[in-house]
Amino acid sequence: MKQVDLRAAVNAVSDVVQNRPRPLREFDQIHMKTGDMVMQSEIVAEWAAGRRLAFIGDGDAVSVCVAYLQARGVLDFGPTKITVFDFDERTVQAVKRFADRERLENLDAELYNCLGAFPDRSKYDCFYTNPPWGASNNGESVNVFVQRGFEAVRYEGDGMIVIADDDALPWPKQVLANVQAYASKQGFYVSRMQRKLHEYHLDDAPDLKSCNLFVSALPGNSSNFTQSEAVTDPEKLRNFYGKSQEPRVLFVREKKRPDYGKAPEEEYSLELLEKEG
């Protein structure tokens, strides 16, 4: 494994950040800070090297970073296939445009809402998710995304769950306990945990961090796989995106194709120089 050129890595991730859409806070979309994205992308690339990787949501665009860093030769390892499943069409199209422009043949995205049955796709080897953190529902929203990850790998293989991690607050501990208990019931055990690893652009809680929670399937766990179904349980849907914010949106649609590398015209106006004479 060669030593990573930090400058090249930061510049590559900067290209991805320029391309991704702005977060919608009403859906608990919060972007990871750029330096942490560089670190996270290397972690994910090494963890999923040589394997097929499903992203259950990816507003951060870590999926794009992983594919791009490998394609640019910054990393000499990474997944063989990456598919992003996201309900935000802006995210899906941003992934597709970037993959097309940079010829990232192992990267694709598909419009999908995790409340619906997971699509019948070929089995993935591992999954990654950074879901709504479940502060107002004891982590039930996290478990919905994790369930879709389990279905993507057919209850075999591994998962990486990005989840809040803060010793000063009670709710991250409760959520972590709930998610770990849920994973255990589904035949997965916690194989590793990297604590307090990431920071976010979060105005009301700038010091809140998240961890990487790694889970792995027990031997023979594929017998737990059943046909995927839509989520209809009111307990799972209550406070899904935060307090009193139940799901009401099937997809976030992209109104027009923006150029994420430039400021939209709605953000500025031009005051022209006066011509002399």
Residue at 164 is within a domain: yes
Q: Is residue 120 part of a domain?
A: yes
d(CA 51, CA 227) in angstroms, rounded, equals 23
Contact 139, 119 (CB under 8 A): no
Domains identified in the chain, total number: 1
Residue 253 lies in a domain: no
Q: Is 257 part of a structural domain of the chain?
A: no
Q: Is position 251 within any domain?
A: no
Model-level pTM?
Answer: 0.91
CATH number for the domain that contains residue 37: 3.40.50.150
| Any domain includes 153 | yes
Q: Dihedrals φ, ψ of 107, to 5°?
A: -120, 130
Q: Does residue 248 belong to any structural domain of this protein?
A: no
Give the model's pLDDT for residue 224.
85
Residue 106 domain-assigned (yes or no): yes
Where are the extended beta strands (E) located within the chain? 52-56, 81-86, 107-111, 126-129, 158-164, 188-198, 210-217
The bridge status of strand 188-198 relative to strand 210-217 is antiparallel
Q: How far is CA 75 from CA 16, 50, 130, 144, 148, in A?
A: 15, 13, 22, 32, 28
What is the domain range of residue 72?
Answer: 12-219+230-239
For every one of its 277 residues, what pLDDT tens digit does the chain have, with 9 covering 90 and above? 678 889 999 999 999 999 999 988 888 888 999 999 999 999 999 999 999 999 999 999 999 999 999 999 999 999 999 999 999 999 999 999 999 999 999 999 999 999 999 999 999 999 999 999 888 899 999 999 999 999 999 999 999 999 999 998 999 999 999 999 999 999 999 999 999 999 998 777 788 999 999 999 999 999 888 889 999 888 888 888 887 788 889 999 998 766 666 667 777 777 887 877 6
DSSP, res 33: P
